[in-house]
């Protein structure tokens, strides 16, 4: 029995350090400021005066102002009148949004029935007339839509269009409306309404913005590869959605759902703009009494800090289960937004590459906080450590020197003659996806509910490196030539880095795999890594392979492959299995052990 306990202790001694390593890695995220994604037009909501009334002067300031206690919205959506376009009802609110630095766009609903293509010319004149009127009133429209939800008109009570008609109107009249034309706005991001335009270069040239709604759209349908391929120079806007209309906007954590949706809209959807439904509503960012709601504060965690002209940058989108991170930059600002949907406190370290910012202002909305200032977070070697409140959204905002688009890549050093490298771990498979509950809908504002947030979990880890064979002393490599200064960057590229070469050791550690030289803020160099010369080994560590795959782990740390908690459990059970097999003759057949799978819900 003592031997049995010793064997169990040995198995735990093997497995628990691996678990510790995997947990540390799972709680870290990286922001790469030099990897630029879509530009940001802004965040905001809708004013539909015939259905929900206008904003008061005080509510306009609350919505579009960006002082303390204000939302900082920069996008306003209004409705195109069905009849005469010479109506001043929207002018005051539109002018307030524009004066605050925002944009205004309009969408037509039109009376019920089916669109007749023979009416296109008259219809284009109608849209153009409203554009001209608003411009004459000092409230110029940034864009105007072709049709609100043409694929939901028969249920909603407005005009229905076919996908072919949406294409034909853009093709033949998109340049006749007096401003940028927004495509027909599908109620559930039906790609069949957009594919014909994207596949027709003449029609695409007349489309200024692809607009869509997200009712009933799962997160894994937010991506649009065809737009990525053919939509260069165009913008994607999420022009209408609400996450829930059946509960009050101060209901917590229900209100947090908008922050999660905004994250997915920016990251998976790569939208340039996000527009909530009614700005003023019991379930909106401003309540019927004219006060900012919890849902409004969640939106403000994005809108107050991510301003028009910012860019989203590459970041670890889901560093751990239930936590979502996105990052943005301007020439002088860095913003990181982290949503924690878990009810428990979570700790995370965020490495922000490409900035000299030494500290960040921190703001939090949670059950007890409303965009509360939580002081400053100090960056140590570009990394910040955060403790996230349970069920919260946290924003970091820092100003300072931002690395530009990066210098030209260094040429890289020549390879060293060191020991052979270990084999890299395989990348993660992407893992199963989390499914969230469908959002509820109220009878007064009937919509098809959002089907819930679907979030990829961590994939399977890599298999780890094979220990090096004990190479000879590396012969030394050649230094890379260095990159030129980046566009907007403040420093030149640092050129190729030295490689690590083979090390001399008592057991011989393996050489690191070669990677290209890197300019500071620049793209990866084309060459291999130059040898640094040998370092004395300590009994032979496993090779360290640069670069982990998203949601997986292909790196080896401290001689052990980093693994997910599930794999560590499997390793532990495998070790115990060996013990049981050794005990079979004495103890009889052991009951098989089946590891409990991690929850996917």
Residues serving a catalytic function are 149, 240
Q: Find the angle CA(128)-CA(131)-CA(134) to the nearest 5 degrees.
A: 150
* 108 DSSP β-pair partners: 80
**Contact present, 397 and 303 (Cβ < 8 Å):** no
- Give the H or E element holding residue 290: none
Strand segments (E) across 40-98: 42-47, 75-80
- The conformation of residue 177, written as its DSSP 8-state character, comes to S
CA atoms within 13 A on the CB side of 399: 3
**Long-range contact set of residues 9-16: C-beta below 8 Å, sequence gap at least 24:** 10/575, 11/572, 11/575, 11/576, 11/579, 12/572, 14/571, 14/572, 14/575, 15/568, 15/569, 15/571, 15/572, 15/575
DSSP per position, 550-576: TTSB--EETTEE---HHHHHHHHHHHH
Q: Which residues is 86 bridged to in the sheet? A: none
Integer Cα distance of 562 and 28 in angstroms = 13
Cα–Cα distance, 364 to 298 (Å, whole number): 9
What six digits make up the tokens of 386?
């955060």
For residues 97 and 75, what is the distance between their CA atoms, to the nearest angstrom?
Answer: 7
Q: How many CB atoms lie within 10 A of CB 380?
A: 9
Which region, left, alpha or beta, applies to residue 322 given φ > 0 means left and ψ of -120 to 50 means alpha? left
Q: Are strands 273-278 and 143-145 parallel, antiparallel or unpaired?
A: unpaired
Tallying the residues shown for the chain, one arrives at 601
The span from the CA of 173 to the CA of 125, in Å, is 10
Helix (H, G, I), strand (E, B) or coil at 42: strand
Report the alpha-carbon angle 200-203-206, nearest 5: 145
Strands 103-108 and 455-456: unpaired
Closest alpha carbon to 542 in 427, 365, 364, 421: 421
Rounded CA gap, 29 and 547, in Å? 14
- Rounded CA separation 557/258 (Å): 38
**CB crowding 303-324: b at 16 or more within 10 Å, else e:** bbbbbbebbbbbbbbbbbbbbb
First vs last Cα of the chain: how many Å apart? 40
Residues in CB range of 455: below 8 A, 6 or more apart: 219, 318, 324, 433, 434, 436
Other C-beta atoms within 10 Å of 196: how many? 17
The answer to whether residues 471 and 508 touch, using CB atoms and an 8 Å cutoff, is yes
CA 526/CA 407 separation, integer angstroms: 13
DSSP code of residue 518: B
Burial class, 12, CB count within 10 angstroms (exposed 0-12 / middle 13-18 / buried 19+):
middle
**Are the C-beta atoms of 396 and 384 separated by less than 8 Å?**
yes
């Amino acid at each position: 029995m003592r031997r049995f306990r010793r064997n169990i202790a040995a198995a735990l001694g093997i497995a628990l350090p691996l678990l510790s390593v995997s947990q540390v890695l799972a709680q870290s995220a990286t922001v790469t400021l030099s990897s630029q994604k879509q530009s940001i037009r802004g965040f905001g909501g809708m004013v539909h005066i015939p259905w929900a009334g206008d904003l008061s002067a005080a509510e306009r300031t609350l919505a579009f102002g960006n002082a303390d206690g204000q939302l900082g919205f920069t996008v306003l959506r209004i409705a195109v009148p069905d009849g005469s376009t010479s109506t001043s009802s929207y002018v005051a609110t539109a002018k307030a949004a524009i004066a605050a630095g925002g944009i205004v766009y309009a969408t037509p609903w039109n009376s019920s029935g089916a669109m007749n293509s023979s009416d296109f010319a008259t219809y284009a004149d109608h849209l153009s007339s409203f554009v001209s009127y608003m411009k004459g009133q000092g409230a110029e429209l940034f864009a105007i839509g072709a049709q609100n939800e043409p694929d939901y008109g028969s249920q909603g009570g407005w005009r229905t269009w076919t996908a072919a008609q949406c294409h034909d109107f853009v093709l033949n009249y998109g340049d006749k409306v007096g401003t940028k034309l927004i495509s027909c706005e599908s109620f559930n991001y039906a790609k069949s309404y957009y594919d014909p335009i994207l596949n027709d270069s003449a029609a695409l040239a007349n489309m200024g913005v692809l607009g869509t709604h997200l009712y009933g759209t799962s997160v894994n349908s937010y991506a649009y590869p065809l737009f990525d391929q053919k939509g260069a120079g165009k913008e994607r806007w999420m022009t209408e959605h609400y996450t829930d209309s059946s509960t009050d906007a101060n209901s917590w954590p229900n209100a947090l759902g908008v922050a999660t949706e905004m994250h997915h809209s920016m990251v998976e959807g790569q939208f340039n703009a996000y527009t909530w439904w009614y700005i003023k509503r019991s379930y909106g960012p401003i309540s019927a009494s004219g006060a900012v709601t919890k849902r409004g504060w969640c939106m403000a965690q994005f809108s107050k800090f991510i301003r028009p002209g910012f860019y989203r940058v590459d970041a670890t989108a889901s560093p751990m289960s239930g936590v979502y991170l996105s990052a943005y930059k301007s020439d002088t600002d860095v913003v990181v937004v982290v949503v924690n949907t878990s009810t428990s406190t979570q700790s995370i370290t965020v490495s922000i590459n490409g900035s000299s910012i030494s500290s960040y202002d921190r703001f939090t909305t949670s059950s007890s906080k409303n965009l509360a200032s939580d002081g400053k977070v100090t960056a140590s070697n570009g990394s910040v450590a955060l403790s996230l409140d349970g069920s919260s959204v946290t924003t970091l905002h820092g100003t300072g020197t931002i690395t530009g688009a990066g210098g030209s890549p260094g040429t890289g050093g020549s390879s060293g003659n060191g020991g052979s490298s270990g084999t890299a771990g395989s990348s993660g498979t992407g893992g199963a996806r989390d499914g969230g509950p469908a959002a509820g809908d109220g009878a007064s504002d009937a919509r098809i509910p959002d089907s819930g947030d679907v979030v990829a979990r961590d994939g399977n880890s890599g298999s780890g490196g094979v220990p090096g064979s004990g190479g000879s002393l590396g012969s030394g490599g050649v230094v890379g030539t260095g990159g030129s200064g980046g566009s907007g960057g403040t420093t030149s590229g640092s050129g190729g880095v030295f490689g690590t070469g083979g090390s001399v050791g008592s057991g011989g550690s393996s050489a690191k795999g070669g990677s290209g030289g890197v300019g500071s803020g620049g793209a990866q160099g084309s060459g291999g890594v130059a040898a640094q010369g040998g370092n004395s080994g300590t009994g032979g560590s496993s090779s360290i392979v640069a670069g982990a795959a998203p949601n997986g782990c292909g790196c080896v740390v401290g001689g052990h492959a980093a693994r997910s908690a599930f794999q560590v459990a499997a390793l532990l059970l495998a070790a115990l299995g060996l013990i049981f097999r050794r005990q079979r003759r004495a103890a009889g057949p052991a009951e098989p052990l089946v590891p409990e799978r991690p929850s996917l819900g």
